[in-house]
């Protein structure tokens, strides 16, 4: 099927161009995987196992590990590699020869606590032995002379991780622990004489007093609009001087409140009179 | 002739595209694996898609001094099954996801913190050794029960242990410690490749947050 005439010059040219194109394409394809620019530039995917301080030479990195020893590996003296391995592993692998020495009971206890925490999920039974009780946690922090802000952070963290149970009345509308009220309650408990007088008349924000006179009898109705950051305990503390009396407010507003921790900013609560000494 | 040339051209144009679209899969059937635990936690195991990627740093070393970094036998003890990556993944998918087993990283906490197999729990080998006075607590957390004298491992979880690789003695030591505590061999598996081979295959690594 050879053409009888001289080959078509257009076809020859086309063929030449095609061949050239193909050569270039093939060359590019073949070069691509080993192209250093490509290899180093775009992504250096997660290899968190590579500490920066390792003295690994370029020759080493080019060589994917586990191959039988090659000459390039000798660029870095074995001693140095060993030293850097040992340095990076010191205290972490406890080589057989030195096994019993570095493991003090304390490290083991801490590690065991960590293990137990990760094995048993979010509420480690043994890992946080001291923090079982909220009041203990607070009094401990107070004894250490910690600031209110610190105690606040501590309590919220402990509550968030489920280490302590926080009474609903001490939950603010935002779900945080109302540390200020808790502290006030503790102070009041420890020194009842110096407790702040009930600021019933306090013309602070959200307080509303209605006086109704009916048949010779004067009745006062007190209302309070929940402010951002309030807890039921805080409100009780403000009106009665005692956070523990939150139940009176809770009972009086049962129809709006499903539980003491379910107050919302903007809610209007009726504040009953309490007859306490 | 023309048609042949056309096919030739089309092929030449398409080839680079085919090269770039290459998929680095786990197996021909599985591009990646998504595993959801009972707790609702989800993890994905896939491979690095950059076909020119190479490891750098610690896990490229060939000649760690032996001792202590010696080559370990395929078996970590009689009755202890040695597994590979796919078995690790299916162990996560079936046993761990259903709460019947645990993937244990036997390395010390600082290594664990640098990155581990997704879904692994850190139980450093040292905490399983008899010298740890708190070891019983860990055995209990693994599901073993004791009446004060003898241990009952009937309800104990299946364990799959790994460490840094075939040259790492931490998971074999942990396995020995478990066995000498009475943990049944058929409940223990050993992933000998460890982090070294896991990384070499470009498989997903998780940095524990807590």
pLDDT in tens, B155-174: 999 999 999 999 999 999 99
Question: Buried b / exposed e across A18-51, counting CB within 10 Å, b at 16+?
Answer: eeeebeeeeeeeeeeeeeeeebeeeeeeebbbbe
| pLDDT over 90 percentage in chain B | 78
CB–CB contact B69 A88 (8 Å): no
Pick the residue with more confidence: A272 or B9?
A272
A219 CA to chain B: closest CA distance, Å? Answer: 55
Nearest to A64 among B55, B137, B205 (CB): B55
Residue A78: the pLDDT is: 34
Residue A49: the pLDDT is: 42
Closest residue in A to B64 (Cα) is A82
CB–CB contact B58 A51 (8 Å): yes
Whichever domain contains B58, its CATH number is 3.40.250.10
Mean pLDDT is lowest, of A41-50, A152-161, A220-229, B2-11, for A41-50
Closest residue in B to A29 (Cα) is B16
Pick the residue with more confidence: A38 or B180?
B180
pLDDT by 10s per residue, chain B, length 210: 566 666 666 555 555 444 444 589 999 999 999 999 988 889 999 999 999 999 999 999 999 999 999 999 999 999 999 999 999 999 999 999 999 999 999 999 999 999 999 999 999 999 999 988 888 889 999 999 998 889 999 999 999 999 999 999 999 999 999 999 999 999 999 999 999 999 999 999 999 875
What is A196-271's CATH number, 3.30.479.30, 3.40.50.920, 3.10.350.10, 3.50.50.60?
3.10.350.10
C-alpha span between B23 and B49 (Å, rounded) = 7
Question: What secondary structure letter does DSSP report for B105?
Answer: E
Pick the residue with more confidence: A225 or A161?
A225
- Per-residue pLDDT of B36-56, as tens digits, reads 998 888 999 999 999 999 999
Please check whether residue B109 lies inside any domain of the structure: yes
Please check whether residue B117 lies inside any domain of the structure: yes
C-alpha span between A248 and A237 (Å, rounded) = 12
ipTM of the complex: 0.76
Over chain A, what is the mean pLDDT? 62
Between the CA atoms of A15, A19, A21 and A22, what dihedral angle is there, to the nearest 10 degrees? 130
Mean pLDDT is lowest, of A8-22, A196-210, A213-227, for A196-210
Statement: residue A118 has pLDDT above 80: yes
How many secondary structure helices (H) and strands (E) does chain A include? 10, 3
Q: Identify whether the C-beta of residue A253 lies closer than 8 Å to the C-beta of residue A172.
A: no
Residue A257: the pLDDT is: 77
CB–CB contact A66 B202 (8 Å): no
Closest residue in B to A24 (Cα) is B12
CB atoms near residue A138 (< 10 Å): 20
Residue A51: the pLDDT is: 41
Please check whether residue B25 lies inside any domain of the structure: no
Please check whether residue B39 lies inside any domain of the structure: no
Statement: residue A76 has pLDDT above 50: no
Pick the residue with more confidence: B125 or A153?
B125
Nearest to A111 among B126, B131, B199 (CB): B126
Chain CA centroid to CA B15, Å? 36
Please check whether residue B24 lies inside any domain of the structure: no
Please check whether residue B10 lies inside any domain of the structure: no
Residue A142: the pLDDT is: 73
> In chain A, which ranges are continuous DSSP H helix?
9-31, 36-40, 58-62, 78-89, 105-120, 134-143, 148-160, 179-190, 232-240, 246-252
Residue B7: the pLDDT is: 61
A40 CA to chain B: closest CA distance, Å? Answer: 8
Pick the residue with more confidence: A138 or A51?
A138
Helix (H) or strand (E) holding B152: strand B151-152
- Per-residue pLDDT of A88-110, as tens digits, reads 333 333 333 333 334 467 788 88
A153: helix, strand or coil:
helix
What is the residue extent of each domain of chain A?
196-271
Q: Please give the residue range of the domain that contains residue B115.
A: 48-200
A269: helix, strand or coil:
strand
C-alpha span between A177 and A125 (Å, rounded) = 22
Residue B164: the pLDDT is: 97
List the one residue out of A277, A225, A232, A220 whose CA is nearest residue A259.
Answer: A232
Q: Identify whether the C-beta of residue B46 lies closer than 8 Å to the C-beta of residue A59.
A: no
Q: Identify whether the C-beta of residue A55 lies closer than 8 Å to the C-beta of residue A80.
A: yes
- Give the count of domains, chain B: 1
Nearest to A100 among B50, B61, B131 (CB): B131
Residue B54: the pLDDT is: 95
Residue B125: the pLDDT is: 94
Statement: residue A185 has pLDDT above 90: no
B141 CA to chain A: closest CA distance, Å? Answer: 6
For the whole prediction, is pTM greater than 0.80? no
């Amino acid at each position: 099927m050879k053409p009888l005439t001289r080959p078509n010059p257009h076809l020859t040219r086309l063929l030449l161009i095609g061949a050239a194109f193909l050569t270039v394409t093939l060359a590019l394809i073949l070069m691509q995987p080993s192209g250093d620019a490509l290899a180093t530039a775009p992504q250096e995917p997660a290899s968190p196992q590579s500490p920066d301080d390792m003295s690994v030479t370029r020759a080493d990195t080019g060589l994917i590990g586990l191959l039988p020893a090659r000459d390039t590996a000798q660029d870095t003296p074995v001693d140095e590699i060993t030293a850097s391995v040992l340095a990076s592993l010191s205290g972490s692998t406890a080589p057989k020869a030195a096994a019993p020495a570095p493991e003090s009971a304390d490290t083991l206890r801490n590690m065991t606590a960590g293990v137990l925490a990760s094995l048993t999920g979010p509420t480690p039974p043994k890992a946080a032995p001291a923090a079982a009780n909220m009041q203990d946690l607070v009094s401990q922090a107070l004894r250490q002379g910690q600031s209110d802000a610190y105690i606040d952070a501590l309590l919220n963290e402990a509550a968030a991780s489920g280490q302590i149970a926080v009474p609903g009345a001490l939950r603010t509308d935002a779900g945080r622990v109302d540390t200020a009220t808790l502290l006030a309650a503790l102070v009041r408990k420890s020194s009842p004489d110096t407790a702040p007088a009930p600021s019933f008349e306090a013309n602070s924000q959200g307080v509303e007093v209605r006086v109704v006179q009916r048949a010779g009898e004067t009745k006062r109705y007190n209302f309070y609009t929940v402010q951002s950051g309030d807890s039921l305990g805080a409100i009780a503390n403000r009106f009665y001087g005692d956070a523990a009396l939150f139940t009176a407010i809770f009972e009086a507003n049962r129809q709006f409140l499903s539980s003491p921790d379910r107050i919302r900013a903007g809610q209007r609560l009726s504040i009953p009179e309490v007859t306490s000494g | 002739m023309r048609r042949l040339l056309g096919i030739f051209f089309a092929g030449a144009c398409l080839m680079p595209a085919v090269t770039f679209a290459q998929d680095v899969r786990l197996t021909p059937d599985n591009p990646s694996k998504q595993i959801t635990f009972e707790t609702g936690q989800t993890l994905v195991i896939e491979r690095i898609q950059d076909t020119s990627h190479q490891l750098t740093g610690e896990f490229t070393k060939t000649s760690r001094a032996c001792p202590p970094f010696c080559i370990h036998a395929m078996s970590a003890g009689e009755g202890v099954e040695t597994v590979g990556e796919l078995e690790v993944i299916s162990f996560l998918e079936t046993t761990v996801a259903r709460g019947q087993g645990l993937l244990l990283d036997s390395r010390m906490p600082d290594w664990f913190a640098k990155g581990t197999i997704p879904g692994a729990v850190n139980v450093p080998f040292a905490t399983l050794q008899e010298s740890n006075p708190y070891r019983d607590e860990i055995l209990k957390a693994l599901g073993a029960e004791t009446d004060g004298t003898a241990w009952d491992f009937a309800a104990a979880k299946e364990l799959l242990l790994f460490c840094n690789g075939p040259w790492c003695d931490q998971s074999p030591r942990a396995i020995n410690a478990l066995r000498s505590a009475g943990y049944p061999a058929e409940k223990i598996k050993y992933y000998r490749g460890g982090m070294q081979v896991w990384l070499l295959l470009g498989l997903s690594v998780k940095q524990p947050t807590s």
